[in-house]
Each structure stands twice: as structure tokens, then as C-alpha cells.
Amino acid sequence: MPPENKRNPWEERLDAALGVAASAILFALMLITFADVVSRYLFNWPLRGAFEATELMLLVLIFAGLPLVSHADEHVTMDFIDRMLTPRATAALVRAVHALCAAVMFFLAWQVWIKATRIAGYGDTTDVLRIPVGPFVYFMAAMIGLAGVVHVLRVFVPGTLRASQATT
């Protein structure tokens, strides 16, 4: 690995742990879907709450991945402006974009947190399994906020400027 791409040991451990967790969630999703389809079509007996469990696991999987994607700087990017700029201007643009992303993430986290407070206050639950929805919405807000923190860090420690490198 080139020196500019050297990662801290804690980053590698965190990536490995989160990779195992994501794999476990995906495996559980696969098992639930398989069991639901088999029981539904062979025995005419759908798995109770399978749809709700799938929704909640997808929520956790997607929102837990948001800070990781931000940290790895793997968001979808367009580089048509970068090609016209000097390396110094490109670095400034990447930092400005990270600052804008951080501001948007913090705004979204704030709005989702407000919504989570309302949902938790109402005591909303899923229809079949009666799982409280509030903690999941708080989790969404926390992960969006964490992604905002990652973008703030990228303003000051931009890494390898991967966002400005052409991928095509």
C-alpha cells in the first residue's frame, strides 16, 4: 500500500468488525427471506413479521454504512470540474465540498432527531411484531450525525483526495 494510503490499525480493526456485522445482517436477511418464501409458497404459511424484520435490518445496514462510506471517501463523485483546476484549487474544492456535506449531514441529523423524538413520544411500533420504531430513527439520526463529523474531519485532514481522482 502506498504511504499516502496507509491506514491506522484502529481503522482496519473497525472496518473488519463492521464488515463482519454487515455480513451477519446480510446473512440474516437472506435466511429470513428464504424462510419466508419457502414457507409462503410450499406451506401457504408466511413467516410472521418477516417484512418488518427485513425493513429494520436494511435500515441498520444502510445507515451504519453511511459514516463508513464517508470515511473511505467512496461517495459517488463527478470530476468534470476537477480536470480544469490546478491541484491546489482541486484540494480547496474537495475541502469545500466536505464542509458542505458536513453542514447538510448535521441539518439532516437534527431534523431526523426531531422526528425520532416525535415517534418515540407517540410510542410508534411496527404493526405485526410491535417493535418500537423510535430507537431505529434515533440510530438513523446518530449515523447521519457521525457522517457529518467524518466530513468535518475530512475538511481538515482530507486524506488522499480520492474524491478528486477520476474513476473512469
Instruction: List pLDDT tens digits, range 69-110.
Output: 888 887 777 777 878 888 888 888 889 999 999 999 999 999
Beta-bridge mates of residue 125: 132
C-alpha cell at 130: 410491535
The count of structural domains within the chain is 1
The count of other CB atoms within 10 Å of the CB of residue 153 is 15
Close Cβ partners of 48 (under 8 Å, ≥ 6 residues apart):
128, 129
Residue 106's domain comprises 3-164
What's the pLDDT at 162?
A: 53
pLDDT at 165: 52
User: What is the DSSP secondary structure assignment for residue 125, as one 8-state letter?
Assistant: B
Q: pLDDT of 114-160, one tens digit each?
A: 999 999 999 999 999 999 999 999 999 999 999 999 999 989 887 65
pLDDT at 67: 87
